[in-house]
Copies of this chain bind each other. A is one copy, B any other.
Amino acid sequence: MAYLFHTDADRAQMLASIGADSVQQIIDQQVPQDVQLQRSLNLGDAAGELTLESEMRRLAAQNSSASSHACFLGCGAYDHFIPAAVDEIASRGEYYTSYTPYQAEVSQGNLQVMFEYETLITQITGLAVSNASLYDGGSAATEGVLMALASVRNREKVITSEAVHPEYRDILEAYLKNIGATLVTVPVGDNGDSSAIISAIDEQTACVLIQHPNFLGRLEDVTAIADAAHSKGALLVQSFDPISTGLLKRPGDLGADIAVAEGQCLGNPLQYGGPYLGIMACREDLVRRLPGRIAGQTTDRRGNRCWVLTLQTREQHIRREKATSNICSNQTLLALRATVYLSLLGPEGLRETASHCLRKADYAKRRITASDRFDIVHDGPVFKEFVVRDRSDDVDGLLRHAESQGILAGVALGQFDPSMNDCFLVAVTEKRSRDDIDRLAAVLSDAPCRSAVASA
């Protein structure tokens, strides 16, 4: 059956060695009769590979995707190009069928990759230390806040902003609810400046969590916020876009103490939201509060340089309830992909990619607003994402229309904030061709209106 090995002859020999008549007897000797399931699981019949493949192809064909449609969706997950070498390497069994490197001698491949990943993350964050990865950008943001709370003693206030990804804030709220921390969420001012956040910071503040570029695509004044936080003894946790570091100053350069990010954009597929890659880096002095696995360099008994899991005294399998975090896995396979991706891009490739995103986003803005129906909500610089207002206030109809024309045009913002019901968020990566963008603009401007365009 499927992947099983034992033939009838094997079974007989094995039972004889065990001294049991049957596997059922082995079960009966351990599992009380009254809790044994007296029927088969109701999960249908076994399906052979050919059957399963036919079904899955049919099912997959029912979904639109960034392959079938031109994708302008963002919100923390982006359709960036993934070079073929990334897939080639990550599909090697020695990587994807191995486990956490408990035995360093037979895990130097994974351990060296983790060490290289950590180094690359310090290079794109401008911070001294990185862990070997966390679950995703959202939980990484929350772990960053928890780490700050643990580092700054006796303060319980956490400040964040509505310009941080709403889902990230949902996670933060769920985690903080039971541990006695106070979450203050500062509204986004119309002018988009940082004064509201800065004025919220006080002596009770353990940390500030911001996102730059922010959820709506805008650039924040990170340095001013960092200075304000530091002046009150608080830490700054910055969620950033790894691709943006090809052009923008890095979190560490801007004054962030802890940087977190969604690493999906670094060579990882969209796959409806996961598995993704949580990036986290911090200042050197915070290292013993850093959650998750960490690989470090050492030497072996023969004096050869090598790599091991280290600082494990922070971890749950030793510290149990005193651990810095309950996380005991890391996303090695996705971190591997990010490592290969960044190796292939190098500094110039990352700059080129960031620059294409930026300039294509700018082109898209101009093309979309060629139609009277659409405004760009915010002035000022963005990186690869921006908010469009539909003056006809029919975002849902607009996006459904675009879908039918082969375009995933944007994310409706009303689902996060009713005041933005007439807005949607458009992301433009280097993969979107001029033709894609022109078609997007044409499809949007040609879309039927539920109502006439509101007067300007």
| Chain A residues close to B by CB (< 8 Å) | 49-50, 53-54, 81, 83-84, 88, 91-93, 430-431, 433
Instruction: Using known A-B contacts A49-B83, A83-B49, determine if residue A433 contacts B54 with beta carbons closer than 8 Å.
Output: yes
Q: How many Å from the CB of A90 to the closest CB on chain B?
A: 12
Interface contact B50-A81, CB-CB below 8 Å: yes
- Measured between alpha carbons, how far is A369 from B292 in the docked complex, in Å? 66
When distances are taken between beta carbons in the complex, the residues of chain B under 8 Å from A88 are: 91, 93
Q: How many copies does the complex hold?
A: 2
- Going nearest first, the 9 A-B pairs with the smallest beta carbon separation are A50-B81, A49-B83, A50-B431, A54-B433, A50-B430, A91-B91, A49-B84, A92-B92, A49-B81
When distances are taken between beta carbons in the complex, the residues of chain B under 8 Å from A93 are: 88
A50 — nearest CB in chain B belongs to which residue? B81
- Measured between alpha carbons, how far is A49 from B49 in the docked complex, in Å? 33
- Measured between alpha carbons, how far is A370 from B8 in the docked complex, in Å? 46
- Measured between alpha carbons, how far is A83 from B93 in the docked complex, in Å? 17
Q: How many Å from the CB of A54 to the closest CB on chain B?
A: 7
When distances are taken between beta carbons in the complex, the residues of chain B under 8 Å from A53 are: 81
When distances are taken between beta carbons in the complex, the residues of chain B under 8 Å from A49 are: 81, 83-84
- Measured between alpha carbons, how far is A173 from B81 in the docked complex, in Å? 50
When distances are taken between beta carbons in the complex, the residues of chain B under 8 Å from A50 are: 81, 430-431
When distances are taken between beta carbons in the complex, the residues of chain B under 8 Å from A430 are: 50
When distances are taken between beta carbons in the complex, the residues of chain B under 8 Å from A92 are: 92
Q: How many Å from the CB of A10 to the closest CB on chain B?
A: 16
Q: How many Å from the CB of A49 to the closest CB on chain B?
A: 6
Q: How many Å from the CB of A88 to the closest CB on chain B?
A: 7
12 intermolecular pairs with C-beta atoms under 8 Å apart: A49-B81, A49-B83, A49-B84, A50-B81, A50-B430, A50-B431, A53-B81, A54-B433, A88-B91, A88-B93, A91-B91, A92-B92
A83 — nearest CB in chain B belongs to which residue? B49
Q: How many Å from the CB of A53 to the closest CB on chain B?
A: 8
Q: How many Å from the CB of A52 to the closest CB on chain B?
A: 10
Q: How many Å from the CB of A437 to the closest CB on chain B?
A: 14
Counting chain B CB atoms within 10 Å of each CB, the highest count among A50, A93, A430 belongs to A50
Q: How many Å from the CB of A245 to the closest CB on chain B?
A: 20
- Measured between alpha carbons, how far is A83 from B92 in the docked complex, in Å? 17
- Measured between alpha carbons, how far is A91 from B89 in the docked complex, in Å? 10
- Measured between alpha carbons, how far is A50 from B83 in the docked complex, in Å? 8
When distances are taken between beta carbons in the complex, the residues of chain B under 8 Å from A433 are: 54
A67 — nearest CB in chain B belongs to which residue? B57
A430 — nearest CB in chain B belongs to which residue? B50
Q: A50-B431, A88-B91 are in contact. List 10 more A-B contacts (CB 8 A).
A: A49-B81, A49-B83, A49-B84, A50-B81, A50-B430, A53-B81, A54-B433, A88-B93, A91-B91, A92-B92
When distances are taken between beta carbons in the complex, the residues of chain B under 8 Å from A431 are: 50
When distances are taken between beta carbons in the complex, the residues of chain B under 8 Å from A84 are: 49
When distances are taken between beta carbons in the complex, the residues of chain B under 8 Å from A81 are: 49-50, 53
Q: How many Å from the CB of A292 to the closest CB on chain B?
A: 30
A92 — nearest CB in chain B belongs to which residue? B92
- Measured between alpha carbons, how far is A397 from B81 in the docked complex, in Å? 43
When distances are taken between beta carbons in the complex, the residues of chain B under 8 Å from A83 are: 49
Q: How many Å from the CB of A447 to the closest CB on chain B?
A: 25
Q: How many Å from the CB of A155 to the closest CB on chain B?
A: 47
When distances are taken between beta carbons in the complex, the residues of chain B under 8 Å from A54 are: 433
Q: How many Å from the CB of A79 to the closest CB on chain B?
A: 12
Q: How many Å from the CB of A57 to the closest CB on chain B?
A: 8
- Measured between alpha carbons, how far is A121 from B198 in the docked complex, in Å? 76
